[in-house]
């Protein structure tokens, strides 16, 4: 009897061990184990991918670079051929890079990507022949470690999640140009290593209430330009939308409103280079953000994200050859550019009509404030034609120079050029040359801090041809290279996300030398006596400007800034342009 009991106990233990082993090989995620209520911690996420990589030779995980949290970034790659050399992969296959957890409270993409890679590894999904899938499992590691259940106050699950800011409290989706964070600098390394043809950034948002779980925010097609912009707008996006509808997932453009009803119409969000898709577009990558609706149940949002990622993969699989051909055409087409757009505005002559699925809204009296508030009634859904402004035109542009000259003193600029694989040469000896020189004519500055800066905007410049001194070790950055758009967006001061507007060159805005009024009075009189035209302009301004006529210091300052004694470096932008037709 004892032997029989021991036999049954051993059999039971073996059975339990086998069940545990089966459970491990199933690779059940915390999302699935909780029936859609939980998202994994950072450690659970990385452990999951490590386990996949150990089990499946088609999956590889590696660490690349640092983050502000002290932990590295991980890159997970799925390639059915088991080749993880990106230089070789990019020559033969279309590469998709998926970024999740840039805002860790928006965790839908973290879970959906885990499910997608698991299902590819276990062959639940058929292996694509023309696609390599790459993911950054959690981009904002510091924010993911800062877990809570309250910071996403309006969001419908999961039970716990990470925080929007990273370890330094930066919003990483504003850091792709200025690169204040280690995360941002490491992303640039990953991007230029992978060289993705398609980039997806997973998000969750809520600007209004509507029927959709999924909304998309493609990089703006006019701004993307080239053949890729046309392909995105006329072929890729419509095909993706149709494939999702076939699976029962209606999708709409990102509803770019806040505390307003969408049926009044809305415009496409303009993704400047500070944002992930705006940055990736600079190299002709087809970029998109998926924005799930935070009021929808978490389980539904993750399933929708999974379907979206899978449909992008299938569409890219079928159109891989075309995507590669368009990407290869980009650099040759840019050689013919003469002008570069610095800013954009809505094209009011063109709109798209959406068959929008929303909810009726009413304005009622708030029980909290006593003032009008907006309230949506989900018992009253509607389908309405809504105007969507998704065409943009260039508002301002500049001629593209042959090259830019940057003094070696501005090493932060060069460090970012290196990070983004921008080619340049060094000045071999002290010399001088004729260049186009900017003077900062006007700019506005934010009154409140924004992502560690007080950025400038509405920057205006005056341009003149001058002979300037350049010195051994200064940098000459030609525009005829794959990174032309990155160069133009960062070095043209009037560009929205230029290094100037991000405060890289603020020292030039401060005057370093001045004058003592009681001494300068005599010299000012001499200057006016020797310059008839200047004296006439001075008298004219006093006659027309009463405040100026009553302020002696302003008058002396006016004369001083127009004299040879005024420092030439004040407001002079320290990056020079060499025109294409130059004989230097």
Looking at the fold, whether 165 and 276 belong to one and the same domain comes out as: yes
pLDDT in tens, 210-231: 999 999 999 999 999 999 999 9
Total domains in the fold of the chain = 4
pLDDT number for residue 333: 80
Looking at the fold, whether 146 and 207 belong to one and the same domain comes out as: yes
Q: How far apart are CA 228 and CA 270, in angstroms?
A: 17
Looking at the fold, whether 464 and 504 belong to one and the same domain comes out as: yes
Q: What is the CB neighbour count within 10 angstroms for residue 485?
A: 21
> Among the three residues 273, 297, 331, which one is the final residue of a domain in this structure?
331
Q: Does any domain span residue 280?
A: yes
Pairing assessment for the beta strands 431-445 and 72-78 based on DSSP bridges:
unpaired
pLDDT number for residue 583: 59
Say if residue 21's pLDDT is above 50: no
Q: Provide the β-strand partners of residue 99.
A: 136, 201
The strands making up 425-426's β-sheet, listed across from edge to edge, are 425-426, 475-478, 403-406, 575-578, 431-445, 456-470
Q: How far apart are CA 172 and CA 201, in angstroms?
A: 12
**CB of 227 closer than 8 Å to CB of 333:** yes
Say if residue 121's pLDDT is above 70: yes
Say if residue 2's pLDDT is above 50: no
Question: pTM (2 decimals)?
Answer: 0.94
pLDDT number for residue 486: 98
pLDDT number for residue 10: 46
pLDDT in tens, 90-113: 999 999 999 999 999 999 999 999
Looking at the fold, whether 297 and 431 belong to one and the same domain comes out as: no
Mean pLDDT confidence for 69-80: 98
Instruction: Tell which residue, 69, 152, 136, 56, has the closest CA to residue 102.
Output: 136
pLDDT in tens, 306-356: 999 999 999 999 999 999 999 999 877 887 899 999 999 999 999 999 999
What is the average pLDDT value for the chain, to the nearest integer?
A: 95
For position 174, which CATH number holds?
3.40.630.10
Supply the Cα-derived Rg of the chain in whole angstroms. Answer: 29
Q: Is the peptide bond before 158 cis (omega within 30 degrees of 0)?
A: yes
- The DSSP secondary-structure symbol of 235 reads I
Which band of pLDDT confidence, cut at 50, 70 and 90, is reported for residue 11?
Answer: very low
pLDDT in tens, 356-409: 999 999 999 999 999 999 999 999 999 999 999 999 999 999 999 999 999 999
Q: Does any domain span residue 208?
A: yes
Here the contacts of 452-461 (C-beta below 8 Å, separation 24 or greater) are: 452/168, 452/170, 452/180, 453/178, 453/502, 453/503, 454/503, 455/501, 455/502, 455/503, 456/500, 456/501, 456/503, 457/496, 457/501, 459/493, 459/494, 459/498, 459/500, 459/501, 460/494, 461/493, 461/494, 461/573
Looking at the fold, whether 18 and 56 belong to one and the same domain comes out as: no
Which domain does 22 fall in, by range? 1-26
Looking at the fold, whether 129 and 150 belong to one and the same domain comes out as: yes
Mean pLDDT confidence for 176-198: 98
Say if residue 45's pLDDT is above 90: yes
Q: What is the CB neighbour count within 10 angstroms for residue 63?
A: 12
Say if residue 519's pLDDT is above 70: yes
Instruction: Tell which residue, 286, 315, 306, has the closest CA to residue 131.
Output: 315
Q: Does any domain span residue 395?
A: no
> Among the three residues 287, 305, 331, which one is the final residue of a domain in this structure?
331
**CB of 191 closer than 8 Å to CB of 134:** no
pLDDT number for residue 23: 41
Looking at the fold, whether 538 and 426 belong to one and the same domain comes out as: no
Instruction: Tell which residue, 106, 158, 165, 108, has the closest CA to residue 141.
Output: 165
pLDDT in tens, 176-185: 999 999 999 9
pLDDT number for residue 39: 98
Looking at the fold, whether 242 and 115 belong to one and the same domain comes out as: yes
**CB of 268 closer than 8 Å to CB of 220:** yes
Instruction: Tell which residue, 276, 492, 299, 321, has the closest CA to residue 397.
Output: 492
pLDDT number for residue 477: 98
The strands making up 352-365's β-sheet, listed across from edge to edge, are 266-267, 372-389, 352-365
Backbone phi, then psi, for 195, in 5-degree steps? 50, 60
Looking at the fold, whether 6 and 88 belong to one and the same domain comes out as: no
Pairing assessment for the beta strands 403-406 and 456-470 based on DSSP bridges:
unpaired
Mean pLDDT confidence for 56-74: 98
pLDDT in tens, 532-579: 999 999 999 999 999 999 999 999 999 999 999 999 999 999 999 999
pLDDT number for residue 479: 98
Looking at the fold, whether 44 and 177 belong to one and the same domain comes out as: yes
Q: Does any domain span residue 556?
A: yes
pLDDT number for residue 5: 42
Looking at the fold, whether 467 and 534 belong to one and the same domain comes out as: no
pLDDT number for residue 6: 42
Say if residue 233's pLDDT is above 60: yes
In 405-516, where does DSSP find H-type helix?
411-419, 484-491
Pairing assessment for the beta strands 198-205 and 266-267 based on DSSP bridges:
unpaired
Number of helices (H), then strands (E), belonging to the chain: the values are 19, 19
pLDDT number for residue 8: 40
Q: How far apart are CA 116 and CA 125, in angstroms?
A: 8
Q: Does any domain span residue 348?
A: no
Q: Does any domain span residue 424?
A: yes
Looking at the fold, whether 126 and 246 belong to one and the same domain comes out as: yes
Say if residue 12's pLDDT is above 80: no
Q: Does any domain span residue 372?
A: no
Backbone phi, then psi, for 210, in 5-degree steps? -160, 175
Q: Does any domain span residue 11?
A: yes
Instruction: Tell which residue, 381, 319, 332, 386, has the closest CA to residue 355.
Output: 386
Q: What is the CB neighbour count within 10 angstroms for residue 62?
A: 12
């Amino acid at each position: 009897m004892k032997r029989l009991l021991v036999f049954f106990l051993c059999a039971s233990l073996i059975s339990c061990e086998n069940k545990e082993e089966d459970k491990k090989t199933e690779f059940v995620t915390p999302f699935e184990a909780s029936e859609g209520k939980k998202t994994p911690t950072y450690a659970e996420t990385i452990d999951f991918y490590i386990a996949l990589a150990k089990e499946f030779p088609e999956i590889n995980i590696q660490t690349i670079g640092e983050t502000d949290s002290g932990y590295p970034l991980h890159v997970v790659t799925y390639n059915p051929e088991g080749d993880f050399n990106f230089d070789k992969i990019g020559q033969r296959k279309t590469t998709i890079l998926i970024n999740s957890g840039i805002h860790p409270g928006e965790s839908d993409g973290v879970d959906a990507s885990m499910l997608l890679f698991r299902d590819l590894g276990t062959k639940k999904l058929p292996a694509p022949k023309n696609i390599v899938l790459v993911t950054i499992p959690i981009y904002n590691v510091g924010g993911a470690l800062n877990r809570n259940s309250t910071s996403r106050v309006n969001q419908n699950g999961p039970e716990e999640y990470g925080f929007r800011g990273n370890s330094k409290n930066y919003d990483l989706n504003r850091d792709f140009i200025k690169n204040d964070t280690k995360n941002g600098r490491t992303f640039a390394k990953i991007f230029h290593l992978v060289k993705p043809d398609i980039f997806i950034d997973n998000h969750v948002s809520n600007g209004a209430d509507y029927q959709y779980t999924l909304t998309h925010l493609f990089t703006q097609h006019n701004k993307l330009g080239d053949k890729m912009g046309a392909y995105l707008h006329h072929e890729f996006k419509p095909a993706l939308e149709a494939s999702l509808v076939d699976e029962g997932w209606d999708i709409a453009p990102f509803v770019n409103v806040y505390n307003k009803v969408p049926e009044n119409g809305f415009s496409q969000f303009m993704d400047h280079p500070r944002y992930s898709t705006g940055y990736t577009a600079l190299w002709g990558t087809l970029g998109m953000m998926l924005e799930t609706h935070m009021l929808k149940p978490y389980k539904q949002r993750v399933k929708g994200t999974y379907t979206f990622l899978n449909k992008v993969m299938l569409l890219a699989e079928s159109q891989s050859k075309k995507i590669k051909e368009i990407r290869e055409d980009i650099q040759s087409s840019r050689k013919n550019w003469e002008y570069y757009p610095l800013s954009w505005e809505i094209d009011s002559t063109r709109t798209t009509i959406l068959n929008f699925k929303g909810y009726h809204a009413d304005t009622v009296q708030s029980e909290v404030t006593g003032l009008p508030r907006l309230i949506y009634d989900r018992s009253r859904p509607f389908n309405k034609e809504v105007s969507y402004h998704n065409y943009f035109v260039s508002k301002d542009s500049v001629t593209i120079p042959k090259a830019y000259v940057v003094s070696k003193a501005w090493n932060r600029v060069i460090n970012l050029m290196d990070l983004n694989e921008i080619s340049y040469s060094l000045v071999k000896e002290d010399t001088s040359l004729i260049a186009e020189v900017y003077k900062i004519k006007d700019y506005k500055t934010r009154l409140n801090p924004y992502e560690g800066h007080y950025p400038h905007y509405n920057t205006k410049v005056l341009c003149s041809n001058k002979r300037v001194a350049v010195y051994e070790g200064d940098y000459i950055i030609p525009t005829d290279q794959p990174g032309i758009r990155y160069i133009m967006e960062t070095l043209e001061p009037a560009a929205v996300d230029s290094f100037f507007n991000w405060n890289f060159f603020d020292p030039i805005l401060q005057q370093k030398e001045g004058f003592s009024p009681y001494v300068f009075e005599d010299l000012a009189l001499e200057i006016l006596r020797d310059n008839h035209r200047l004296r006439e302009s001075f008298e004219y301004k006093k006659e027309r400007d009463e405040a100026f006529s009553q302020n002696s210091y302003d008058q002396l300052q006016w004369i001083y800034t127009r004299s040879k004694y005024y420092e030439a470096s004040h407001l002079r932008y320290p990056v020079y342009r060499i025109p294409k037709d130059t004989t230097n």
